[in-house]
Amino acid sequence: AQTVTQSQPEMSVQEAETVTLSCTYDTSESDYYLFWYKQPPSRQMILVIRQEAYKQQNATENRFSVNFQKAAKSFSLKISDSQLGDAAMYFCAYKGGGSNYKLTFGKGTLLTVNP
């Protein structure tokens, strides 16, 4: 069964600095997708970044980038130049490829950004 583990319940960062959120997963599949979602206090779920397992290159979206280590089953999110608006709960998620469409989430990391 696929599982997703976020070992940091809470993290904090100073505005303009860099922070890395950790995520590990367990799977026996070779084809899958990984995601980071952001949930601000409005509780809306917002996709931050996506990584396809078959791609060796790490995904990047503006100030957000990932470090995808397939062999280690690790998928960390780096936020550069942190802004106050980045404060939110961040969820790591796994979705199988092919006919496995189950989408599994970690427990989340609450990120605080200090001015």
Partner 1 sequence: NAGVTQTPKFQVLKTGQSMTLQCAQDMNHNSMYWYRQDPGMGLRLIYYSASEGTTDKGEVPNGYNVSRLNKREFSLRLESAAPSQTSVYFCASSGYRIREAFFGQGTRLTVV
The residues of the shown chain that bind partner 1, judged by CB under 8 A, are 6, 9, 33, 35, 43-45, 47, 50, 52, 91, 93, 95, 99, 101-108
Dihedrals phi, psi of 87, to nearest 5 degrees: -60, 125
CB of 107 to partner 1, least distance (A): 4
Q: Which is nearer to partner 1, 73 or 95 (CB)?
A: 95
Strand-pairing partners, residue 50, are 35
Say which residues have a Cβ less than 8 Å from residue 42's Cβ, sequence separation at least 6.
Answer: none
Q: What is the distance between the alpha carbons of residues 87 and 93, in angstroms, rounded to a whole number? A: 19
Q: Which is nearer to partner 1, 33 or 74 (CB)?
A: 33
Say which residues have a Cβ less than 8 Å from residue 60's Cβ, sequence separation at least 6.
Answer: 49, 66
CB of 20 to partner 1, least distance (A): 19
CB of 103 to partner 1, least distance (A): 6
Q: Which is nearer to partner 1, 86 or 106 (CB)?
A: 106
